[in-house]
Structure 1
Amino acid sequence: MTATGLTDAPVEAVVFDYGGVLTLPVKQSIAAWLAADGIEPDSFSRTLRAWMSRDAPTGTPVHRLETGELTVEEFDALLAAELTTTDGHPVDPVGVLSRLFAGMRPDPEMFTLVEELRGLGIRVGLLSNSWGDTYPRERIDALLDPVVISGEVGLRKPDAPIYELTLARLGVAADRALFLDDAEPNVLGARAVGMRAHLHVDAPSTRAALAALVPGLRPTPNGAHE
């Protein structure tokens, strides 16, 4: 057994999360939004815990947003109502998620990794819980296949059906697919259906983990010093 999962079978496919994996850490964008809008960070953290913690009840606003049952506008209003500001003014509900994600940027090292895996004949896909349409679709559609977005399929991580759907679209056995996510519950969800999975922290450590599993993949990017 390896640190990333169940077997030593060859890796035929790598499935990437989007926010926090193919992008730089989302917390950087969130911090900038909280400061710009004058939002008390504790009010945001408290709301996320209530809606996203492992013991949160089924059907929280986050769950319904991710499966497409809530529109972004409906979620914006619910989230804004839970937040408090430093000056006591209400949070403008229009465009809350757009402002929250405004500072999110692609991670060039991770996109380079995707391209190198493709060049080695490894299938690469995307599996993401969506908080609105924040994806550079032209870019990811050109690189990744399949692209499984929770709000488009009505399923969400870490529930088993969305991993099973992704595997069916990949056409590979679970133990031949490696899933990358920056949230531990989603990593555990992948392992529960037999996939191998790695908890992403940063591009260098993820590349090193994959290099131990994918023949021909360098542990550092081409041109970098090892």
Structure 2
Amino acid sequence: MTSSIALVLFDMEGVLSHYDRAARVNALAALTGQTPDTVRHAIWGSGLEARADAGEISDEVYLRELGTALRYPVTADEWLSARHASITPDHDVLALASHVAERCSIGVLTNNCRLLTQNIGFLNPPVALLFGKHVYASAEFGAAKPASEPYIGCVQRLGVAADQTLFIDDTPANVEGAMRAGLQGYRFVDVAGLADEFRRVQLL
């Protein structure tokens, strides 16, 4: 029996890789001489990261405003180095995704700015190797999950119907957003549960 799923769309951090926000904060704190609390506020408390993820500002403006907040001219390479420190690929989940890719298309939709996806080969080499060019940042679609625009824009870009797409995310609100946009959704908890879900939809 053939699965009705034509595309599995994965979130990256929290699903395909572990995200260590503290490592990112500490790297930028060491670089700029600011406290971790100051770094956290500059990125998240101020709303700067959310604006970048939603595509409301360019990467250049993002880096400039971050530098202003931290009183240090953060370069793209320095930002990437700190971001790299926060990412650890989950090879068990990636192995599952590789098996699924034998039966349907796969892609990544992550709440991030374009800096991440444009440099995915450096930041997360196993994801870059497996997913190739099909790694999409929410910023490309002018909104962040759980708004409908990223899901709809992404499946349209990949040429697959929303109702034939299974979206995997560790954040309940993002799974609910995908389902409101017409996709099928699954909340990731662990690799065993994800394997069970793929068996249920006949992708393993």
TM-score by length of 2: 0.72
Q: 1:116: how far off?
A: 0.5
8 Å contact 1:72–1:97 — kept in the other structure?
A: no
Q: Is residue 42 of structure 2 the alignment partner of residue 42 of structure 1?
A: no
**Which residue does 1:86 correspond to in 2?**
none
Q: 1:124: how far off?
A: 1.1
Q: 1:91: how far off?
A: 4.3
**Which residue does 1:113 correspond to in 2?**
96
**1:117 alignment partner AA:** V
8 Å contact 2:54–2:144 — kept in the other structure?
A: yes
Q: Given the alignment, which residue of 10, 21, 27 partners 1:33? A: 27
Q: Is residue 81 of structure 2 the alignment partner of residue 99 of structure 1?
A: yes
- Structure of greater Rg: 1
Residues 140-181 of structure 1: CA deviation (Å, up to 9, x unaligned): 376367443334444432221221122223444433321122
Q: Distance in 1 between matches of 2:52 and 2:195?
A: 31
**1:40 alignment partner AA:** T
**2:36 alignment partner AA:** P
The count of aligned residue pairs is 192
Q: Distance in 1 between matches of 2:109 and 2:121?
A: 14
8 Å contact 1:126–1:144 — kept in the other structure?
A: no
Are the structure 2 counterparts of residues 66 and 141 from structure 1 closer, same or farther at C-alpha, using a change threshold of 3 Å? Answer: farther
Structure 2 residue ranges without an equivalent (≥5):
none
Higher helix share: 2
SS in 2 for 1:113: helix
**Which residue does 2:62 correspond to in 1?**
75
Q: Distance in 2 between matches of 1:44 and 1:143?
A: 31
**1:94 alignment partner AA:** T
Q: Distance in 1 between matches of 2:198 and 2:45?
A: 32
**Which residue does 2:153 correspond to in 1?**
165
**After the TM superposition, which residues 47-62 of structure 1 pair with which residues of structure 2 at under 5 Å, given as runs?**
47=42, 48-51=44-47, 61-62=48-49
Q: 1:115: how far off?
A: 0.8
Superposition RMSD in Å: 3.3
Identity of matched residues, %: 27
Q: Is residue 5 of structure 2 the alignment partner of residue 24 of structure 1?
A: no
Q: Distance in 2 between matches of 1:99 and 1:151?
A: 20
